[in-house]
């Protein structure tokens, strides 16, 4: 097989599988096992996994470097490949593998935190919509039959609810068709932005939720930057990797512009301080750590700060949405029930 041949796999490995790959590999390397043997052992223990252990071991036996083997697999990102390449050339492969493992572990935790913050409000909102639709389609028509036999003048609120119910029943097929088309369009749009890597960038512009996602993403990139600096990777290369690691344009621009300032002979603080991404306190950490050559520690501390902020914002979001959604759902149900019982009370009063 020629050295330009590629392993026929489409798309990158999921984040969890990449975490497992680097985690398993570090354990074996840390026990003194050579890279080729480590890949073979990992393959034996994970024979049903989609992780290409056997393919990578085969490429190593053919004379490829580990970084090139990862590239040929087509299942790893440019950032990972470049990091491994640096690890091989500097003799710090084990440390780089450990850092990538910890980086993806943190990435999974951050993603789970954001998901948990959004799941509960979504479930409550869907339940509310389902309840209202059920009442409009089944409960309201039952009351309408009773009202039609009474030949009495109905309250304005009741009339409005009955009009909505009739409209939904008369146009149910059209409404369902529009909803299906909308879901298909949104599904294609979701897939497109996901493939383009612009999903997080779009979500980061949404009020409230966007700030949480932005802080989580910045926390993740700072952690990645800290790991690379700890592995003695050159600052310009670290900034390039940090720029590639983020999916949010604003964060990418900070690290990209800072890299340009470094090339001009300026400090990292000079480049980062020109943007409003980092707050004054974090900027002071970068400034002081740059002077003491402790940037790795500085970015690790900034990661913790933004991680804590994002976690608190996530918890606050959940506690804020809960009462709002309960009031919203309760109000909708109450309006429908009151509109249906008002004529009954009126009838009772008239009979009395």
Give residue 347's pLDDT: 67
Rounded to two decimals, the pTM is 0.67
How confident is the model over 202-252, as pLDDT tens digits?
Answer: 666 677 777 888 888 888 889 888 888 887 788 888 898 888 878 788 888
The mean predicted confidence, pLDDT, of the chain is 81
User: How much is the average pLDDT of 250-278?
Assistant: 90
pLDDT bracket for residue 289 (50, 70, 90): very high
pLDDT bracket for residue 47 (50, 70, 90): low
How confident is the model over 49-108, as pLDDT tens digits?
Answer: 788 888 999 999 999 999 999 999 988 888 888 888 888 888 888 888 988 888 888 778
Lowest mean pLDDT of 311-315, 318-322, 323-327, name the range. 318-322
Does the structure show a pLDDT above 70 at 201? no
pLDDT bracket for residue 6 (50, 70, 90): very low
User: How much is the average pLDDT of 285-306?
Assistant: 91
User: How much is the average pLDDT of 31-50?
Assistant: 84
Residue 151 gets the label, from left (phi > 0), alpha (psi -120 to 50) or beta, of left
Give residue 352's pLDDT: 52
Could you tell me if 248 and 201 are in contact, meaning their C-beta atoms sit under 8 angstroms apart? yes
Q: Please choose, from the candidates 242, 319, 236, 314, the residue with its C-alpha nearest in 3D space to the C-alpha of residue 278.
A: 242
Q: How would you class 140 by CB atoms within 10 Å of its CB: exposed for 0-12, middle for 13-18, buried for 19 or more?
A: buried
Give residue 190's pLDDT: 65
Q: Which residues contact 248 (CB under 8 A, 6 or more apart)?
A: 200, 201, 204, 214, 217, 218
- Counting residues of the chain whose pLDDT is more than 70, the rounded percentage is 88
Does the structure show a pLDDT above 60 at 5? no
Phi, psi dihedrals of residue 153, rounded to the nearest 5°: -75, 125
3-state SS assignment for residue 258: helix
Could you tell me if 289 and 278 are in contact, meaning their C-beta atoms sit under 8 angstroms apart? no
Could you tell me if 16 and 82 are in contact, meaning their C-beta atoms sit under 8 angstroms apart? no
Could you tell me if 90 and 228 are in contact, meaning their C-beta atoms sit under 8 angstroms apart? no
Give residue 292's pLDDT: 92
User: How much is the average pLDDT of 191-201?
Assistant: 56
């Amino acid at each position: 097989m020629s050295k330009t041949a590629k392993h026929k796999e489409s798309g990158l490995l999921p984040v969890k599988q990449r975490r497992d790959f680097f985690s398993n590999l570090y354990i074996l390397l840390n026990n003194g096992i050579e890279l080729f043997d480590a890949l073979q052992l990992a393959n034996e223990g994970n024979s049903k996994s989609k992780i290409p252990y056997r393919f990578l071991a085969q490429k190593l036996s053919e004379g490829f470097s580990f970084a090139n083997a990862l590239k040929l697999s087509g299942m790893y990102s440019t950032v990972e490949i470049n990091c491994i390449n640096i690890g091989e050339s500097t003799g710090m492969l084990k440390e780089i593998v450990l850092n990538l493992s910890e980086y993806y572990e943190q990435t999974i935790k951050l993603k789970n935190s954001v998901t948990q913050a959004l799941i509960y409000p979504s479930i409550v909102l869907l339940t509310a919509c389902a309840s209202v639709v059920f009442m409009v389609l089944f409960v309201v028509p039952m009351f309408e039959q009773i009202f039609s036999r009474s030949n009495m003048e109905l309250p304005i609120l009741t009339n409005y609810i009955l009009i909505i119910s009739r409209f939904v029943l008369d146009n149910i097929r059209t409404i369902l068709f529009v909803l299906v088309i909308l879901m298909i369009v949104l599904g294609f749009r979701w897939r497109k932005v996901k493939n383009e890597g612009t999903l997080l960038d779009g979500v980061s512009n949404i009020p409230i939720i966007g700030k949480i996602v932005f802080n989580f993403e910045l926390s993740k990139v700072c952690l990645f930057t800290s790991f690379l600096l700890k592995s003695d990777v050159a600052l310009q290369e670290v900034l390039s990797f940090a720029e590639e690691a983020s999916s949010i344009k604003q964060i990418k621009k900070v690290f990209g512009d800072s890299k340009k300032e470094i090339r001009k002979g300026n400090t990292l603080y000079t480049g980062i301080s020109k943007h409003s991404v980092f707050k004054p306190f974090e900027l002071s950490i970068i400034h002081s750590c740059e002077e003491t050559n402790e940037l790795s520690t500085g970015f690790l501390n900034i990661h913790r700060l933004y991680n804590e902020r994002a976690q608190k914002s996530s918890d606050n979001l959940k506690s804020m949405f809960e009462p709002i959604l309960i009031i919203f759902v309760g109000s909708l149900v109450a309006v429908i029930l009151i509109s249906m019982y008002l004529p009954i009370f009126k009838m009772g009063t008239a009979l009395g």
